[in-house]
Structure 1
Amino acid sequence: MSTGFFGDIKPIKFEGADSKNPLAYRFYNPEEVVAGKKMEDHLRFAVAYWHSFAWPGGDPFGGQTFERPWFPGAGETDTMALARKKADAAFEMFALLGTPYYCFHDADVRPEGRDFAESAARLDEVADYFASKMEETGIKLLWGTANLFSHRRYMAGAATNPDPDVFAYAAATVKSCMDVTKRLGGENYVLWGGREGYETLLNTDIGREQEQAGRFLQMVVDYKHRIGFEGAILIEPKPQEPTKHQYDYDVATVYGFLKRFGLENEVKVNIEQGHAILAGHSFEHELALASALGIFGSIDMNRNDYQSGWDTDQFPNNVPEMALAYYQVLQAGGFSTGGTNFDAKLRRQSLDPQDMLIAHIGGMDCCARGLKAAAQMVEDKALSGPLAERYADWEKPEARAMLSKGAKLEDIAARVISEKIDPKPKSGRQEFLENVVNRYV
Structure 2
Amino acid sequence: MSSNLKFGAGIWHFATYVDRYATDGYGPPRSLIEMIDLAGQVEDLSVVDINYPFVDPDLSLDAVEAALTRNKLSVIGITPEIYTRRFAKGAFTNPDPGIRRLANEMVNDAANVVRRFGADYVKLWPGQDGWDYPFQVDHKTLWQLSIDGIGELASQNPDLKFVIEYKPREPRVHMSYDSVARTLLGIEKMGLPNVGILLDFGHSLYGGESPADAAQLAIDHGRLFGMDVNDNFRSWDDDLIAGSVHPIELFEFFYTLRKNKWEGVWQLDQFPFREDSVAAANSAIGFLKVIDRALDKLDFEAMQAAQDRHDAVTALDLARRALFTSY
Same-fold call, TM > 0.5?
Answer: yes
| Cα contact 1:305–1:314 (8 A) shared by 2 | no
| Cα contact 1:322–1:367 (8 A) shared by 2 | no
Question: Match for 1:126: what amino acid?
Answer: S
**Could you tell me how far apart the structure 1 residues matched to 2:313 and 2:205 are?**
22
1:247 corresponds to: 176
1:99-118 CA deviation, whole Å, 9 max, x = no partner? 110112114x323xxxxxxx
Unaligned runs of 5+ in 2: none
1:322-352 CA deviation, whole Å, 9 max, x = no partner? 32111111123222xx42221101133x3xx
Instruction: Report the CA distance between 1:380 and its aligned residue.
Output: 4.2
1:366 corresponds to: 287
| Cα contact 2:229–2:268 (8 A) shared by 1 | yes
1:59 corresponds to: 19
1:190 corresponds to: 123
Task: Label 1:385 to 1:126 Cα distance change in 2 as closer, same or farther (>3 A).
Answer: farther
Unaligned runs of 5+ in 1: 1-31, 71-82, 112-118, 391-426
**Could you tell me how far apart the structure 2 residues matched to 1:372 and 1:146 are?**
35
**Could you tell me how far apart the structure 2 residues matched to 1:332 and 1:269 are?**
16
Instruction: Report the CA distance between 1:361 and its aligned residue.
Output: 0.9
Secondary structure at 2:50 match in 1: strand
1:87-133 CA deviation, whole Å, 9 max, x = no partner? 1x2232222214110112114x323xxxxxxx5xx4xx432211222
TM-score where L is the length of structure 1: 0.68
Question: Match for 2:97: what amino acid?
Answer: P
Secondary structure at 1:201 match in 2: coil
2:62 corresponds to: 128
Task: Label 1:64 to 1:375 Cα distance change in 2 as closer, same or farther (>3 A).
Answer: farther
Alignment partner of 2:132 out of 170, 174, 199: 199
Task: Check if 1:100 corresponds to 2:21.
Answer: no
1:376 corresponds to: 297
**Highest Rg: 1 or 2?**
1
Task: Label 1:270 to 1:369 Cα distance change in 2 as closer, same or farther (>3 A).
Answer: same
Alignment of 1:324-403 (within 5 A): 324-335=252-263, 338-348=264-274, 350=275, 355-377=276-298, 380-387=300-307, 390=308
1:263-308 CA deviation, whole Å, 9 max, x = no partner? 3x331111111110121112212112211222112111111134xx
1:3 corresponds to: none
Task: Label 1:372 to 1:171 Cα distance change in 2 as closer, same or farther (>3 A).
Answer: same
Instruction: Report the CA distance between 1:321 and its aligned residue.
Output: 2.8
| Cα contact 2:13–2:277 (8 A) shared by 1 | no
Instruction: Report the CA distance between 1:261 and its aligned residue.
Output: 2.3
Task: Check if 1:314 corresponds to 2:234.
Answer: no
Question: Match for 2:107: what amino acid?
Answer: V
Deviates more, 1:281-290 or 1:156-165: 281-290
TM-score where L is the length of structure 2: 0.91
| Cα contact 2:76–2:121 (8 A) shared by 1 | yes
Task: Label 1:101 to 1:92 Cα distance change in 2 as closer, same or farther (>3 A).
Answer: same
Identity among equivalent pairs (%): 19
| Cα contact 2:75–2:117 (8 A) shared by 1 | yes
Alignment of 1:252-291 (within 5 A): 252-263=181-192, 265-291=193-219
**Could you tell me how far apart the structure 2 residues matched to 1:382 and 1:139 are?**
39
Question: Match for 1:271: what amino acid?
Answer: L
Alignment of 1:16-55 (within 5 A): 32=1, 34=2, 38=3, 41-42=4-5, 44-53=6-15, 55=16
Question: Match for 1:183: what amino acid?
Answer: R
Instruction: Report the CA distance between 1:69 and its aligned residue.
Output: 5.5
| Cα contact 1:324–1:370 (8 A) shared by 2 | no
- Equivalent pairs counted in the alignment come to 320
